[in-house]
Structures are given as structure tokens and as C-alpha cells.
Chains A and B, each alone.
Chain A
Amino acid sequence: MILSTNLKHIASRDEHAKTLAENENVMVCCGRMGPMCIPVYGVMEQLQSQYPHVAFTDMAFDHPEADVIRNLPEARGFMGLPFVIYYKNGKVVEAKSSIQSKEQIIEVLDRVF
């Protein structure tokens, strides 16, 4: 189960762990191909070249192993797709839920990475 985006897909718990181990800065957008998620993937695809030091990735929300995102303490109380998690050196440094604009995403990227 993967999403149809041009982002790097995380398709399992192992791939999630490997991505965090291999990259200092990781942004994961965990969602569906739905109205609130598609605009966020679009912004991430566009920002990839501008932020080469960040791994822009996605994960299908309904994948059983996406519980690595769904069950994060930082996502407690989230009730809106997508769940967007920012990791630095494997640690969650920011977590957002629901649609985000390009400005809101850039604000987080510039602040945490």
C-alpha cells in the first residue's frame, strides 16, 4: 500500500526506521489520497529541491505498519489527516495534523532543521 506521489514512500516499519537512521532531517506526511492530504504532498514535492538536506517522505495512513506514526505520543489528539511528523536525528521535533499551507510548512522546516 503506497501513495501516488513523487515523494519517497515509506512502506513498512523497517523502512521508517531505516529512513530515520540514514537521514538527519526527515519530514513524513502520513495520509491518504484525500482533499486535505494532496495539497501537502504537492508542497513537499515542490520543496524537495529547495531543501536538499531534508528527506521528504510519505506513508499511507491505512497501512497497518503506519502505526509507527499513528501511535506516536506527539500525535495524541490528532483527528485530522494528514499527520505530518518532522524528525531530527531520529527524534520527533514537530508534529502537525490536518492541511498545512506552503508558508506553514516552510515555517516549520526553517525552524526545526
Chain B
Amino acid sequence: MKKKTYDAIIIGAGAAGLTAGIYLSRGKASVLILDTAIPGGQMILTHQVANYPGVPSTSGYALSQTMKEQAVSFGCEVESNVSISNMILDADHKQIEVNNDSVYTSKVVIIASGGRSRMLQVAGENELKGRGISYCATCDGDFFQDKEIAVVGGGNSALEEAVSLTRYACKVTIIHEFDHFQAFDHAVEAAKANDKINFIMDTHITSFKGKDSLESIEYKNLKTGETQSMALDGCFVFIGYQPNTEFLKRTGVELNSRDEIMTDEDLQTNIPGVLAAGDCRMKKVRQITTAVADGTISGMKALEIIHR
């Protein structure tokens, strides 16, 4: 087993983790950032970021690479595509075992594991992902030129992406589980004004069907219980977000009923020396700016703990 000790270990190399790394390493702390995928997190999933102050419209990937390079230039070590095999957090010296071959210890751990798109979890979804079911309109929209598709969800992403998908699809049906939308009024109005879009409300999709690719869906009206099916070429799912916190289940870190990490104002969790930053924690606004703010606060608090 390879062994190494750091002042701080950060779990997750998204906007929050990389920012915490920048503050910690500039504060002369030794820092390891671990990520189960490549650095960048959800920024990589964002084609265009237009609301990060001081940066004219840029690709999320480019922004994430700049943040990573900045963190590395100040001395952060970044290990990507790792798998965390074991963790002991409720001790003075936190211990994280990686890839079953390395053990890293530190005084502080910052959890910045972010979140991911929620799946519908209905029959056929896994099998037909990439074969008609998609979670990224900008990536896969052009496969649906002149096709009939559905968009599932009622928030801003669902309604905005439904409108953008009308550039390709000949018909877009928005399927939502309530009788009203959660999206901003302007997004709802834009969707309602688009004559390629129609709506099925109070409805859940119950299964996806298809051989080589998606051919139809079955859906159920939640008020009447009536079940119907519809032929479809594609279905885009935008039903919100799920925090990446499953790996914390046996660590003692306190989660709320939505599996988000509970923190105080300094972003400390219930375990001394363990902090949480970014989309993985309980918060209202999930944006790059708020993740970066969390990274700053947790990084500064971690420095205080390290030098205590």
C-alpha cells in the first residue's frame, strides 16, 4: 500500500473542490484532490457558461480546465478516475483508501462530490439510454431531426430544452407529473407559445419500449389512473438533480431526507474536520458561482482548522 499524508484531502474536482484546493494550496497547505471521473464535474456538461462573472461566454469544459490548471499551479495534487475503497472520517487523522492500493491521511477532508441528473428509474430506461433516451439536449438533439420526442420535467431545464429541441424535432411533448410547472414564467410562456410543443400533465412515464432504439412509452395519468401508450423516437429527461452522497452512507456524515449533506454556516458537517462544499450539500441555489463560493468558505475554514 502506498501511504501519504496531506493537510487536506478534497473529494471531488468540480468547481467547489478545485476552488477549495486553490485557497488551501495558496495558504501553503498540502492538498490532494480525488475524483472518480475527470476533473471539472458538471461544468463539463455545460456547453456554454454565460453567467460566470468576469468571463465572457465560455465552454464549461474550458472554464473547468482553467480552474484545474490554477489549482495545480498552486501545488494541488489531482488524482482523477479513482475509486475510493474505504474511508475513516470520524478520527483526528482522516483516512482514505484509494484503488485498493493507496492510503492517504489528512487532518481535514472537504467533500465536494456534487450531483448528477436524476434518472426516471423506470423499466427500459437503462437499456435504451443512448438509444433514444438522453439527458443532454445539446449533445444529442441533432439525432432527432424531424422526429417526435418527449421531454420529461417541469423545471427551467425541461422547458428551456424543450424549446431548443424544436430546432430539430417536428413534435415535442412535455410530460410533467404535476398540473403546473416549477419553471420561471418566461420559460413556460416560451414553451406554450411554440406550436411544435404540446403538454401532458399529471402524468408519469411507466416504461420505455423498443428493440434497437426507443419506439414507444407507456404512461399513466396520476389523477385518473388511466394508462396509455405513445409512439416516440426520443425522450429527454430533465427531472432534477441527485447529490453524489451514496458513498458517505456508512461514514457517519449527516445527510437530510434528500441525501444532501447538512452543514453549518462555515460548511462544517457533524464530524469535526469534515466539511462539505458545492452541490452535494443542502442549499437552494446550485450554480458555478455558488459552488465556487462554497469552495472559498470551506477552504478558508479548513486552513483555520489545519493551523489550529
Q: Which residues of chain A have a CB within 8 Å of any CB of chain B? A: 32-39, 42-43, 46, 76-81, 96-98, 101-103
Chain B residue contacts of A103, Cβ below 8 A = 83
Closest 9 CB pairs of A and B: A98-B130, A77-B212, A80-B130, A42-B38, A77-B213, A97-B130, A79-B143, A35-B45, A36-B139
Q: Is the CB of A102 within 8 A of B37?
A: yes
CB interface residues, B 181-216, toward A, < 8 Å: 210-214
In the complex, how many angstroms separate the beta carbon of A25 from the nearest chain B beta carbon? 20
Query: Which range contains the number of B residues in contact with the other chain?
Result: 20 to 34
20 contacts between A and B (CB under 8 A): A33-B61, A34-B47, A34-B138, A35-B46, A37-B139, A38-B38, A38-B61, A39-B37, A39-B44, A46-B80, A79-B132, A80-B130, A80-B140, A81-B139, A97-B130, A98-B130, A98-B134, A101-B37, A102-B37, A103-B83
Chain A residue contacts of B140, Cβ below 8 A = 36, 79-81, 98
In the complex, how many angstroms separate the beta carbon of B34 from the nearest chain A beta carbon? 13
Chain B residue contacts of A46, Cβ below 8 A = 80-81
In the complex, how many angstroms separate the beta carbon of A100 from the nearest chain B beta carbon? 9
Q: Is the CB of B213 within 8 A of A79?
A: yes
Which B-chain residue is minimally distant from A100 (CB atoms)? B130
In the complex, how many angstroms separate the beta carbon of A83 from the nearest chain B beta carbon? 9
Which B-chain residue is minimally distant from A45 (CB atoms)? B38
Docked Cα-Cα span, A36 to B213, in Å, equals 19
Q: Is the CB of B81 within 8 A of A43?
A: yes
Q: Is the CB of A79 within 8 A of B134?
A: yes
Q: A98 contacts which of B36, B129, B210 (Cβ < 8 Å)?
A: B129
Identify whether the interface residues of A are mostly helix, strand, loop, or mixed. Answer: loop
In the complex, how many angstroms separate the beta carbon of A24 from the nearest chain B beta carbon? 25
**How many contacts A-B (CB < 8 Å)?**
79
Chain B residue contacts of A35, Cβ below 8 A = 44-47, 60-61, 136, 138-139
Q: B81 contacts which of A32, A38, A96, A102 (Cβ < 8 Å)?
A: A102
Chain A residue contacts of B154, Cβ below 8 A = none
Which B-chain residue is minimally distant from A43 (CB atoms)? B81
Chain B residue contacts of A98, Cβ below 8 A = 129-130, 134, 140
Q: Is the CB of B37 within 8 A of A97?
A: no
Docked Cα-Cα span, A32 to B136, in Å, equals 14
Chain A residue contacts of B60, Cβ below 8 A = 35
Q: Is the CB of B37 within 8 A of A42?
A: yes
B6 in the interface (beta carbon within 8 A): no
Chain A residue contacts of B212, Cβ below 8 A = 76-77
Docked Cα-Cα span, A37 to B59, in Å, equals 14
Q: Is the CB of A97 within 8 A of B61?
A: no
CB interface residues, B 231-246, toward A, < 8 Å: 234
Q: Is the CB of B46 within 8 A of A97?
A: no
In the complex, how many angstroms separate the beta carbon of A16 from the nearest chain B beta carbon? 22
In the complex, how many angstroms separate the beta carbon of B14 from the nearest chain A beta carbon? 13
Which A-chain residue is minimally distant from B59 (CB atoms)? A33
From known contacts A35-B60, A36-B136, A39-B44, infer whether A80 and B129 are also in contact, taking CB-CB under 8 Å. yes
Instruction: Given contact pairs A36-B136, A39-B44, A79-B214, enumerate 9 new A-B contacts (beta carbons under 8 Å).
Output: A35-B46, A35-B60, A43-B81, A46-B81, A77-B213, A78-B131, A98-B140, A102-B37, A103-B83
B144 in the interface (beta carbon within 8 A): yes
Docked Cα-Cα span, A76 to B212, in Å, equals 7
- Most chain A CB within 10 A, of B81, B140, B144, is at B81
In the complex, how many angstroms separate the beta carbon of B98 from the nearest chain A beta carbon? 13
Chain A residue contacts of B38, Cβ below 8 A = 38-39, 42-43
Chain B residue contacts of A43, Cβ below 8 A = 37-38, 81
Docked Cα-Cα span, A39 to B35, in Å, equals 12
In the complex, how many angstroms separate the beta carbon of B246 from the nearest chain A beta carbon? 14
Q: Is the CB of B80 within 8 A of A42?
A: yes
In the complex, how many angstroms separate the beta carbon of A69 from the nearest chain B beta carbon? 14
Chain A residue contacts of B83, Cβ below 8 A = 102-103
